[in-house]
Amino acid sequence: MNTMEIDNRQTVRSDALALFGVTGDLAYKMIIPALYALVKRSALTIPIVGVALEKWTLEQLRARITDSLQHEGGIDDRQAFDKLLSLLRYVSGDYNRQETFSSIKEALGGAQRPAHYLAIPPSLFENVIQGLGTAGLAKGARVIVEKPFGRDLASAQELNRVAHSVFPEDAIFRIDHYLGKEAIMNILYFRFANSFLEPIWNRNYISSVQITLAENFGVKTRGAFYETVGCLRDVIENHLFQIVALLAMEPPTDQNPDAVQTEKVKVFRAMRPLAPADLIRGQYEGYRNETGVAKDSDVETFCALRLFIDSWRWEGVPWYLRSGKYLAESVNEVVVELKPPPQKLFDDSPQASEGSNYLRFQLAPHSAIGLAARIKAKGKKFIGDQKELFVIEEEPGEQSPYERLLGDAISGDRTLFSREDATEAAWAVVEPALKKHPRALPYKRGGWGPEEANALIAKGSGWHNPSL
């Protein structure tokens, strides 16, 4: 394939969407509302072919769409709602049978550049991808693949092999909804749109970086699924590693998606592989009583780790990552802790072991940036307090992550999607910890995980526990 053909596929919009797993939970909660939002702003006018095993009629699918929208936010634009229903078609069939793909081809009509969205379990990816290839549905097409993209390095490599046997790399869109969040995108913009950060954004001025992604609920009805992944696979290796990459990467040469991805890959490749001593695993009390969970399960619902990036910019700077369920708050936050001034000039100047100024990115539930600085108190004495300058950045009418990512995939914009070498490089970092790790420690609900996680931070002010 020559360069001109690649460029054309990247810039030409898809002319149809085949949504595999249209009757599933992900489609109900996330994808259908995103499709409705795209139709409302006239960004989606192409046929939508829903595909699933259920032997539904088109009217049953429309009823499912209606129920989803009423449950997930309501129907506030009747014209757009009617337009969405008019775009729908439905194919019922077994993904193991080639006649299913023949029916999909017929439903797509004369579409020359369809986008195939695989909102299905990873175990079905290979059958569907190969079925698309055999049916001639891959030529000029794109495939959108939901995470998890593999469950370790070997499975990710095999999945890439299968995908590449049918689709070229530039036609594969590996979707991670976290990259579509406005606050996550703002990290990249804030870093490189402002000149004041660059002089201090390195090992000389930054003592550590902490990233917390906490949830105040459990696995709910997803116990059987969670038993196959755990927190390290489900959150750390993808969501939090992507945040690390945006914070740690060097400036890309331009906004070209490949330029950004190349700098991310460099970060992943510079990450020191995880050792057992760098990892604390936890399991909330009562997890083993959840539906679908083994009575002797060692799957972690909490994970905290210490990470190092062996690069010129970050040598020696520890990165502390943690995530878990049934924690005190549902929040995602980054704290970049700066080193204290080199001389203790004032009596209340912080010691190196006490922490100092910091920059804080709150990513969820609100989008905000805070800068902590010491301010002198009134009076003759040179003493003061640390105050935080806090800027809320949310704007009404922001696109949801799925709306943004689905729209980008249809238009061929790969900026917010993962590349093959990035996914494999990230898995290589956690691979040792997947094979050898400490047992999961029990922790009470409503706190911040096992006490042992505090031992990962040997110096500084300890974990910054977010408060909303």
Point out the residues that are catalytic.
239
How far apart are the C-alpha atoms of 73 and 36, rounded to whole Å? Answer: 11
387 touches 372 (CB < 8 A): yes
How far apart are the C-alpha atoms of 312 and 333, rounded to whole Å? Answer: 25
Contacts of 182 (CB under 8 A, 6+ apart): 367, 394, 398, 399
Residue 101's nearest CA partner among 70, 149, 135 is 135
How far apart are the C-alpha atoms of 335 and 425, rounded to whole Å? Answer: 25
How far apart are the C-alpha atoms of 406 and 17, rounded to whole Å? Answer: 10
Amino acid symbol at 379? G
Residue 272 neighbours by CB distance under 10 Å: 12
Q: Which two tokens stand for residue 344?
A: 């203790």
Q: Which two tokens stand for residue 111?
A: 């579409």
447 touches 325 (CB < 8 A): no
Q: Which two tokens stand for residue 164?
A: 């590449």
Q: Which residues pair with 462 in a beta bridge?
A: none
Residue 156 neighbours by CB distance under 10 Å: 23
Contacts of 277 (CB under 8 A, 6+ apart): none
How far apart are the C-alpha atoms of 321 and 306, rounded to whole Å? Answer: 7
276 touches 438 (CB < 8 A): yes
418 touches 156 (CB < 8 A): no
- Cα–Cα distances (Å) from 267 to 7, 338, 422, in that order, read 27, 21, 9
Instruction: Return the H-helix or E-strand segment holding 371.
Output: strand 368-376
- Torsion on CA atoms 303, 305, 311, 315, rounded to nearest 10: 160
How far apart are the C-alpha atoms of 93 and 99, rounded to whole Å? Answer: 8
445 touches 285 (CB < 8 A): yes
148 touches 177 (CB < 8 A): no
Longest dimension (CA), the chain: 85
Q: Which two tokens stand for residue 420?
A: 């093959």
